[in-house]
Amino acid sequence: MRFGILVFPGTNCEMDTLHVLREVVGEEAEYVWHESRDIARCDAVVIPGGFTYGDRVRSGALACRAPVMEAVAEFADRGGLVLGICNGFQILAEAGLLPGAFRPNAHGRYRCAWSHVRVENAATPFTLACEPGQVLRIPVSHGAGNYQADPDTLRALEENRQILLRYCTPEGDVTPDANPNGSAGNIAGIVNRAGNVAGVMPHPERASERILGSADGRLLFASMVQYLTGRVIRV
């Protein structure tokens, strides 16, 4: 299968993502420039992290209007898998493809650190390679990762099992101390109602090889590959 990795002005995690998808996960992957409307070759889309347009206006607020995002919206409408990571999650939220919005981290500072997240729903195309309740060690790196939504939306996310990941302790307890940014309900990742568009704040591409400290992030990409091709990737 072939992953398309979107590149906007200011995207800065595309190289690590490409490396992981090609060399670690072992699938084809290519960049898709923000001005392109052609993603027909891609079986799945990843929107990597970075500072698109220098985070002007709000994180993701300008990138969501790029031509490629029209194609992504159509792709998603037809059921295509889209994974937004960090700034990619913010772009999907700004584009209306995922509910909710982001505020600056509650403590007011950028934070780059290892975090633990608990898999809340292991029956999605993005998590099916995980065990339910499995704790993944994946780093966060953001200044505005504080996920918020109105109470109705949060309730709907719960009821529809749209919450993919929550920040937790290494033991798997969802506690305020384990929350690196103040996100509502310790939410670290969600999926849309249809189950094919996901956003995660931690960076799975930075935790896909043991030499970098963890290979847990590979499970998210492995899930997508398994869902689309049936190929099982051992992690």
Question: Residue 203 interacts with another protein (CB under 8 A)?
Answer: yes
By CB under 8 A, how many residues form the interface with another protein?
A: 43
Q: Pick the closer one to another protein by CB: 50 or 125.
A: 50
CA-to-CA dists, residue 176 to 16, 61, 106, 118, 184, angstroms: 30, 28, 12, 14, 10
Site for another protein in 40-79 (CB under 8 A): 41, 49-51, 53-56
Rounded least distance, CB 220 to another protein, Å = 15
Question: Residue 10 interacts with another protein (CB under 8 A)?
Answer: yes
Q: Pick the closer one to another protein by CB: 41 or 155.
A: 41
Q: Any alpha helices (H) in the chain, and if so which ranges?
A: 14-19, 67-77, 87-94, 151-159, 218-229
| Length of the chain in terms of residues written | 235
Rounded least distance, CB 228 to another protein, Å = 19
Catalytic residue, from 86, 94, 116, 168: name it. 86
Return the ∠ at Cα 224 (arms to 171 and 21), rounded to 5°: 95
Tokens of 145: 């990762």
Question: Residue 160 interacts with another protein (CB under 8 A)?
Answer: no
Tokens of 88: 């990619």
Rounded-to-integer distance, Cα 96 and Cα 105, Å: 21
Question: Residue 143 interacts with another protein (CB under 8 A)?
Answer: yes
Q: Any alpha helices (H) in 130-202, and if so which ranges?
A: 151-159
Binding residues (CB under 8 A) for another protein: these are: 7, 9-10, 12-13, 15-16, 18-20, 22-23, 28-31, 33, 36, 38, 41, 49-51, 53-56, 107, 109-113, 139, 141, 143, 203, 205-206, 208-209, 211-212
Active site residue ranges = 86, 203, 205
